[in-house]
Structure 1
Amino acid sequence: MTELKKQISASLRKDLEAGELILPSLPEVAMKIQEEVKKKSSTAHSIAKVIMLDPGLTAHFLKVANSPLYRTQNSVQGLPEAIGLIGINSVLNMALTYTMRTMFVNTEGPWKKVLIHQWNEATELAAIVAVLADYLPNFNSDHMMVAAMLQNIGALPLINHLQHFPGLEQEEVETLVEENATKAGLALVKLWGLGKSFEDVIKARHDWMYESTPELDTTDLITIARYHYMKDKQRLEDCPPTSEIAAFRHLEELDFTAEMSMQWIDSAREKIRAIKRMLCM
């Protein structure tokens, strides 16, 4: 570890603990959607009026509505129709996927490659967890996808901060992001007011023993997805055995096994690839 990295690491920890790291605000259109969805009087048409303020977001909703997640016999052409298909309760989740993608894509600087890696990992996690949710009761695929992508959201403010230190090596930047992504992500999710369930997901990032509830929940399913992601990348040496991971224990309490979850993913490889294409850069 270089002396510069040591100094920056200490400074980052201090800023995070003091709440002084500069965090990006939730974009205005996402805030307006958040407000509209909360209204008891909201409809597909009233929400569509807000979404249409952003042409890119409008295109994203139509793309999602025609994706493998919601594919119907006929192509969805209109925004109110897309919102009706996706569901009003899922609109904010879909807006967040677009918001995160835009923020990752639009960040420039010497460490953009690190950010792209974080986003690509997040989209693969999201695709895997969406498939897992199909096999289990009481799980909403789009909510699960957003939660999975939020696990890496802390990379955004960290990369923005580290752009000011061109003397760092890329490997050092990657390490600093991994070391601080949980705290930065938690601060960002709190700032955006996304709620405790998403906060728990951030806390569980790379914490294989984390338990937010005594039964299988969103956090567990994303932990299981991350295990399968690591398996696909041949990085299981960084993971404990499934018998030691709380999430898999909760899965077994529903009479499912780790081996079954592997079979679900293997049988849905094409869908995983399709969802990744929908989400990635």
Structure 2
Amino acid sequence: MTYMTELKKQISASLRKDLEAGELILPSLPEVAMTIQEEVKKKSSTAHSVAKVIMLDPGLTAHFLKVANSPLYRTKNAVKGLPEAIGLIGINSVLNMALTYTMRTMFVNTEGPWKKVLIQQWNEATELAAIVTVLADYIPNFDSDHVMVAAMLQNIGVLPLINHLQHFPDLEEEDVEHLVEENATKAGLALVKLWGLGQSFGDVIKARRNWNFESTESLDTTDLITIARYHYMKGKKRLSECPPPSEISAFRHLEKLNFSADMSEQWIDSAREKIRAIKRMLSM
């Protein structure tokens, strides 16, 4: 057995042990995001009271204005004020938008030998988010900003794993990618729990690369993201890594609404410009 193979086995075993024992170091939700979370939950919260919290962070303020003027919220005139942006986005969606900024900041600020792997995972997450947002436009009863954030959260477990693996610069990039994929779901679940984001986001994490995960018997957010992931993989010419649509429960749930896999592909093809715009909004 080579040195690298043995090292990889030791690291893999150590990661699993730390995850099961709750000892993997996880990034805390930034204070401003926690404060927003608390403010949004108040019955007395308003666009102005939420804006006061957001204004504590100039970067977050700029992010909200950018989102309000993005293709997600088509307005005739540019949105220039934060309370106006929050009124447009909606108080119930404020935390979701704060999470997109928080995740982006954490991915951007992480340095080390495996930054490239982290960027690849972030780019995948933003493309999934853009695709699923477009899909949500065509199907009733889906909140586009909720599904967008949920799609980005699917890869959030990568963050603490890469932070941990920065201590092993001698690993091969392929080994790092394997270790990340092997442990991303457990790490993501631990992070969602720490951040207090709720069971619905936990189900989204469980569905990561689990093509037949079913949280309900009807089309839900996890299904929509699975469908988006299939189309993402197809666009990257990686269909060999996916089962056919007929064997994916998400597509069967889609068919119950009288939609098909071909139709979902047509929706995506007709919205390429919006997908590119959303990716630009979320990019590093």
The 5 Å alignment of 1:109-258 reads 109-258=112-261
Distance 1:79 1:2 in 2: 53
Residue 85 (structure 2) pairs with residue 82 (structure 1): yes
The offset of 1:247, in angstroms, is 0.3
Q: Deviations over 1:5-46 (max 9, x none)?
A: 111001101111111101000000000000000000000000
The offset of 1:165, in angstroms, is 1.0
TM-score, structure 1 normalization: 0.99
Secondary structure in structure 2 of the residue aligned to 1:193: coil
Q: Which residue number in structure 1 is paired with residue 273 of structure 2?
A: 270
The offset of 1:199, in angstroms, is 0.1
Residue 57 (structure 2) pairs with residue 54 (structure 1): yes
Residue 44 (structure 2) pairs with residue 44 (structure 1): no
Amino acid at match of 2:47: A
Q: Mark the runs of 5 or more structure 1 residues left unpaired by the alignment.
A: none
Q: Deviations over 1:56-103 (max 9, x none)?
A: 000000000000000200000000000000001100000000000000
Distance 2:102 2:187 in 1: 17
Q: Mark the runs of 5 or more structure 2 residues left unpaired by the alignment.
A: none
The offset of 1:243, in angstroms, is 0.5
Q: Which residue number in structure 2 is paired with residue 96 of structure 1?
A: 99
How many residue pairs get aligned? The number is 281
The 5 Å alignment of 1:66-77 reads 66-77=69-80
The offset of 1:167, in angstroms, is 1.5
The offset of 1:166, in angstroms, is 1.4
Q: Which residue number in structure 2 is paired with residue 2 of structure 1?
A: 5
* Poorly superposed stretches of 4+, deviation over 2 Å: none
Distance 1:9 1:173 in 2: 10
